[in-house]
Amino acid sequence: EINNVCVDFASRRGPATRAVDNVSLRIAPGEIFGIVGTSGAGKSTLLRTLNALTRPSEGSITVNGTEISALRGAALRQARQRIGMIFQHFNLMHTRTVAQNVAFSLKAAGWERAKIAPRVAEILELVGLSDKANRYPAQLSGGQKQRVGIARAIANHPDVLLCDEPTSALDLETSATILALLKRINEQLGITIVLITHEMNVVKTICDRVAVMSGGKVVEEGEVFNIFAHP
Helix (H) or strand (E) segment spanning residue 223 = strand 217-223
C-alpha distance from residue 3 to each of 25, 49, 53, 69, 229 (Å):
7, 11, 17, 11, 28
- Supply the minimum distance, in Å, between the C-beta of residue 184 and ligand ADP: 21
- Supply the minimum distance, in Å, between the C-beta of residue 138 and ligand ADP: 17
- Supply the minimum distance, in Å, between the C-beta of residue 63 and ligand ADP: 19
Q: Which residues of this chain interact with ligand ADP, rule CB under 6 A?
A: 9, 17, 19, 37, 39-45, 99-100, 103, 116-117, 120-121, 133-134
Contact between 227 and 210 (Cβ < 8 Å):
yes
- Supply the minimum distance, in Å, between the C-beta of residue 187 and ligand ADP: 25
* Shorter beta-carbon distance to ligand ADP: residue 37 or 84: 37
Contact between 164 and 87 (Cβ < 8 Å):
yes
* Shorter beta-carbon distance to ligand ADP: residue 44 or 175: 44
Contact between 147 and 175 (Cβ < 8 Å):
no
* Shorter beta-carbon distance to ligand ADP: residue 124 or 182: 124
- Integer-rounded Cα Rg, in Å, for the chain is 18
- Supply the minimum distance, in Å, between the C-beta of residue 123 and ligand ADP: 9
C-alpha distance from residue 209 to each of 63, 100, 143, 183, 187 (Å):
18, 35, 25, 14, 15
- Supply the minimum distance, in Å, between the C-beta of residue 50 and ligand ADP: 13
* Shorter beta-carbon distance to ligand ADP: residue 6 or 71: 6
* Shorter beta-carbon distance to ligand ADP: residue 193 or 213: 213
Phi, psi angle pair for 119, to nearest 5° = -70, -40
Contact between 36 and 197 (Cβ < 8 Å):
yes
* Shorter beta-carbon distance to ligand ADP: residue 23 or 32: 23
Strands (E), 64-216: 66-67, 83-86, 160-164, 192-197, 209-214
